[in-house]
Structure 1
Amino acid sequence: MATSDEHGETSVSPKEVWAVADDAHIVVANIASPGSAMNIGANAKVCLSFIDIFVQKGFKIIGTATDLKPSAPEFSKWAGPLHAMVGDCFPIPSVFVVCATSVHRIIAPSYAFYPSETTEESQVQSALRNYGAHRRVGHD
């Protein structure tokens, strides 16, 4: 998730636990993100990106975020799916409720520059080869 402070200084921070709440909202657990919380308090504009790193396709979501604390009446509504995911593994001191204003597809340039030879499988094989990764057979 990308945020920026009151001076426009940008910051990107990975988020481990999130859920699509409805057609317009994504809720993100604030597990260890005091910088993101502070930035959202100063500037509600955020950008989320979700990428399948092997297929090299995904989505960019632009929107505004609210940092909800447990004292907020609607906290349990938004935090419920996240608590179900983490159980007792992580405390969730607040949740970032992102209201999407636009959604854009992200694709690697190879799909546009070499459309006849670029497939999802060719992208996966290229990533495996280039990054020395290996697929585990029988695992998701």
Structure 2
Amino acid sequence: MLTPDMKRIIEEQLLGFVATTAPDGTPNVSPKGAFFVVDDKTIAFGEIRSPGTIRNLRTNSRIEINFVDPFVRKGYRFAGTAIVVERGTDTFGALLGRYRGALGPRMRAIVAITVTKALPLTSPVYDDGKAEPDVRRAWTTRFRKLQPNERFME
């Protein structure tokens, strides 16, 4: 189910925006930064500071995650079901072995998501016939103006 491009976006982007639902039906969106691909139908993130998200998932395992490359205004949305895997279990250790970042020691749990639906996200800017290099150039220029002392890749 997860294409090579989907895996690339998950691995390249530092934030995935996670949507869950509270027990009272209130929506909750929270950025997470410790995502990794487990296999062709599973992605996961490390729980570091996510008490609301974890509480919501214990009540309702349905989840959606969005990843967007801000420079090209494209990405993917993934829907599925999540399980919370606690530190100290064999499954936690196996999942942690797949994670390549520096935050592993801070993870209290890992949320493993079985992806049941994956769809592309594309900005309406492409509806006007813009090409990806032009969109990238425009957004790179915008970020440079916001942070004139930072260096952004082109």
TM-score calculated relative to the size of structure 2 = 0.78
Residue 22 of structure 1 corresponds to 39
Residue 122 of structure 2 corresponds to 107
Query: How far off its partner does 1:125 sit?
Result: 2.2
Cα deviation, 1:53-94, whole Å, max 9, x if unaligned, reads 010000000011111102433111112223x41167x51000
Cα deviation, 1:7-58, whole Å, max 9, x if unaligned, reads 2211111111111100110010101111110010011011111100010000
Aligned partner letter, 2:122: I
Output aligned runs, 1:1-140, within 5 Å: 1-82=18-99, 84-86=100-102, 90-111=105-126, 113-115=127-129, 118-131=130-143, 132-133=145-146, 136=151
Query: What 5-or-longer segments of structure 1 have no aligned partner?
Result: none
Aligned partner letter, 1:96: V
Instruction: Give the Cα–Cα distance (whole angstroms) in 2 for the partners of residues 70 and 4 of structure 1.
Output: 24
Aligned partner letter, 1:104: L
Percent of pairs with identical residues: 25
Query: What 5-or-longer segments of structure 2 have no aligned partner?
Result: 1-17
Name the one with the larger helix percent: 2
Aligned Cα root-mean-square deviation (Å): 2.1
Higher-Rg member (1/2): 1
Aligned partner letter, 2:28: S
Instruction: Give the Cα–Cα distance (whole angstroms) in 1 for the partners of residues 62 and 89 of structure 2.
Output: 21
Aligned partner letter, 2:133: E
Query: How far off its partner does 1:6 sit?
Result: 1.5
Q: Is the CA contact (8 Å cut-off) linking 1:58 and 1:105 kept in structure 2? A: yes
Q: Is the CA contact (8 Å cut-off) linking 1:27 and 1:79 kept in structure 2? A: no
Q: Is the CA contact (8 Å cut-off) linking 2:34 and 2:103 kept in structure 1? A: no
**Higher RCO by CA contacts (8 Å cutoff, separation 6 or greater):** 1
TM-score calculated relative to the size of structure 1 = 0.85
Aligned partner letter, 1:93: R
Instruction: Give the Cα–Cα distance (whole angstroms) in 2 for the partners of residues 59 and 87 of structure 1.
Output: 24
Moved more, 28-37 or 122-131: 122-131
Following TM superposition, the consecutive aligned residue runs of length 4 or more in structure 1 with deviations greater than 6 angstroms are none
